Amino acid sequence: MNDKIPMPDICLYFQLHQPRRLRRFSFFDIGASHDYEDEAENRRIFNRVADNCYLPAGSLLLFLIKKFRGDFRLSFSISGEALDQMELYRPDILEIFQQLAATGWVEFLNETYSHSLAFLFSPEEFHEQVVKHRRRIKNLFGQEGRTFRNTELLYSNALALKMEEMGYRTILADGVDKLLADRSPNLIYRPAGCRNISLLLRDYRLSDDLAFRFADSNWSGFPLTAEKYADSINARGGIGTVVNLFMDFETLGEHKRKETGIFHLLEELPGALLKHPGCHFLTISEATKNHHDENIFDSPEVISWADEERDASAWLGNSMQQDAAKTIYGLEKKVRMCKDENVKKKWRILQTSDHFYYMSTKWSPDGDVHRYFNPYESPYAAYINYMNIVDDLSSIAGTSSRGKL
Cis preceding-peptide flag for 223 (omega within 30 of 0): yes
Q: What percent of the chain is predicted at pLDDT more than 90? A: 81
In sequence order, what E strands does 65-126 have? 74-78, 106-108
pLDDT band at residue 1 using 50, 70 and 90 as cut-offs: very low
Q: Which residue has the higher pLDDT, 278 or 280?
A: 280
Which pLDDT score is estimated for 375? 85
For 179-214, the pLDDT digits (tens) are: 999 899 999 999 999 999 999 999 999 999 999 898
Instruction: Examine the pLDDT at 111 and tell me if it is beyond 80.
Output: yes
Q: Share the mean pLDDT of the chain.
A: 92
377 catalytic residue (yes or no): no
pLDDT band at residue 20 using 50, 70 and 90 as cut-offs: very high
Q: Which residue has the higher pLDDT, 241 or 353?
A: 353
Q: State the Cα–Cα distance between residues 42 and 21, nearest whole angstrom.
A: 6
For 25-78, the pLDDT digits (tens) are: 999 999 888 999 999 999 999 999 999 999 999 999 999 999 999 999 999 999
9-297, CATH topology level: 7-stranded beta/alpha barrel (3.20.110)
Which pLDDT score is estimated for 4? 56
Q: State the Cα–Cα distance between residues 242 and 254, nearest whole angstrom.
A: 28
Backbone angles phi, psi at 319, to 5 degrees: -65, -30
Which pLDDT score is estimated for 370? 45
Which pLDDT score is estimated for 400? 53
Instruction: Examine the pLDDT at 365 and tell me if it is beyond 60.
Output: no
Lowest mean pLDDT among 122-126, 302-306, 395-399: 395-399
Instruction: Examine the pLDDT at 403 and tell me if it is beyond 90.
Output: no
For residue 186, give the amino acid letter: N
Instruction: Examine the pLDDT at 145 and tell me if it is beyond 80.
Output: yes
Which pLDDT score is estimated for 313? 95
Instruction: Examine the pLDDT at 90 and tell me if it is beyond 50.
Output: yes
Backbone angles phi, psi at 285, to 5 degrees: -65, -40
Catalytic position from the list 152, 164, 250, 286 = 152
pLDDT band at residue 343 using 50, 70 and 90 as cut-offs: very high
Which pLDDT score is estimated for 404? 45
Q: State the Cα–Cα distance between residues 375 and 7, nearest whole angstrom.
A: 43
Residue 226 falls in which region: left (phi positive, over 0), alpha (psi -120 to 50) or beta: alpha
For residue 296, give the amino acid letter: I
| Residue pair 299/179 in contact by the 8 Å Cβ criterion | yes
The verdict on pTM exceeding 0.75 is yes
Instruction: Examine the pLDDT at 250 and tell me if it is beyond 80.
Output: yes
Q: Which residue has the higher pLDDT, 367 or 70?
A: 70
pLDDT band at residue 238 using 50, 70 and 90 as cut-offs: low
Residue 227: partners with Cβ closer than 8 Å, 6 or more residues away: 268, 272
Q: Which residue has the higher pLDDT, 273 or 374?
A: 273
Annotated domain spans of the chain: 9-297, 314-402
Which pLDDT score is estimated for 2? 45
pLDDT band at residue 5 using 50, 70 and 90 as cut-offs: low
C-alpha distances in angstroms, 99 versus 61, 142, 225, 251?
Answer: 11, 11, 28, 21
